[in-house]
Amino acid sequence: MALYLPKQHIVIDVVDDPCSSPVDPDAFPGLTVVPVTCDELAHPELISEICGLSFPHVAAPAQQA
């Protein structure tokens, strides 16, 4: 599975999704393919770090109730 964020010029490629094929980077020139796992997707703060994106609705772990 891949999540396309064209405004950020990023494709988030979920590499351990057994139902999908890998992203073909040549099919998306100008976009950076960022490989992540399902576990990493479960932690949006990691995606923020990996992709350099800001998810303002995601609280840091210490701030969560």
Q: Residues 3-54: pLDDT tens digits?
A: 888 888 888 888 888 888 878 778 778 888 888 888 888 877 776 676 666 6
User: Which band of pLDDT confidence, cut at 50, 70 and 90, is reported for residue 58?
Assistant: very low
* Alpha helix (H) residue ranges in 1-65: 38-41, 44-51
**pLDDT on residue 39:** 83
Here the tokens at position 6 are 């064209």
Distances (CA, A) of 65 to 23, 33, 40, 44, 58: 36, 33, 20, 16, 12
pLDDT at 64 over 60: no
* pTM attached to this predicted model: 0.62
Give the residue from 50, 52, 24 showing the smallest Cα distance to 37: 50
Host H or E run for residue 12: strand 10-14
